[in-house]
């Protein structure tokens, strides 16, 4: 595995790791990916809510001529442009808060799944180590084996799995912003 890490081919390493991911973790990764899509949508919504608010702040009287503004005025029984500005501000604040909560939840899910995968990899490696012939166990120092496995799995989690999830999430956000 260290040869793959040294060669720098991330996709080969991810394919190798994917073969060792169980069904439960694959389902959890699907859920994390779904949450990435939701987070990118909420980010897009919060940025989209900023533009009408800024437009309203720059020229309130001009905005009253748009049909959608009149529909909002009628729906909420607003009488003054300042009421609409207050409504737009509240909507913007709520979307930013909601988007922030979703992003924090996504980050929590990414960290949790990354470390769960690391735990699964560690368990698999320890099982394989335990079932090796007795002669191999006698020739090795068990504390060095445990430390080596722990260090390598932590390295995979911190330098491959977590960054890959963050990059994927960021790529979805960038894609959603280019769609706007």
Exposed, middle or buried, 143 (CB in 10 Å: 0-12/13-18/19+)? exposed
pLDDT at 3: 45
Between CA 41 and CA 93 the distance in angstroms is 16
Contact 159, 166 (CB under 8 A): no
pLDDT at 2: 46
User: Which tens digit of pLDDT belongs to each residue from 83-120?
Assistant: 778 888 898 999 999 999 999 999 999 999 999 999 99
**Which residues of the chain register pLDDT less than 50?**
1-5
23, 24, 30, 34: CA torsion to nearest 10:
160
Q: For 13-69, give the DSSP string.
A: HHHHHHTT--HHHHHHHHHHHHHHHHHHHHHHHHHHHHHHHHHHHH-HHHHTTSHHH
The two structure tokens encoding residue 35: 């949450």
pTM, two decimals, is 0.79
Phi-psi region of 140 (alpha: psi -120 to 50; beta: other; left: phi over 0): beta
**172 within 8 A of 41, measured Cβ to Cβ:** no
Cβ(177)–Cβ(99) below 8 Å? no
């Amino acid at each position: 595995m260290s040869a793959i890490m040294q060669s720098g081919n991330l996709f080969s390493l991810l394919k190798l790791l994917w073969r060792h991911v169980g069904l439960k973790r694959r389902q959890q990764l699907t859920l994390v990916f779904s949450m990435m899509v939701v987070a990118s949508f909420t980010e897009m919504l919060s940025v989209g809510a900023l533009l009408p608010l800024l437009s309203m702040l720059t020229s309130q009287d001009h905005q009253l001529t748009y049909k959608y503004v009149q529909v909002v005025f009628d729906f909420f029984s607003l009488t003054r442009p300042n009421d609409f500005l207050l409504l737009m501000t509240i909507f913007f604040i709520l979307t930013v808060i909601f988007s922030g909560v979703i992003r924090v939840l996504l980050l929590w899910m990414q960290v949790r799944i990354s470390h769960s995968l690391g735990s699964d990899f560690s368990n698999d490696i320890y099982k394989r180590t335990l079932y090796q012939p007795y002669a191999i166990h006698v020739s090795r120092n068990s504390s060095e084996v445990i430390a080596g496995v722990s260090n390598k799995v932590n390295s995979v989690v911190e330098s491959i799995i977590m960054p890959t999830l963050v990059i994927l999430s960021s790529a979805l956000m960038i894609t959603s912003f280019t769609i706007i």
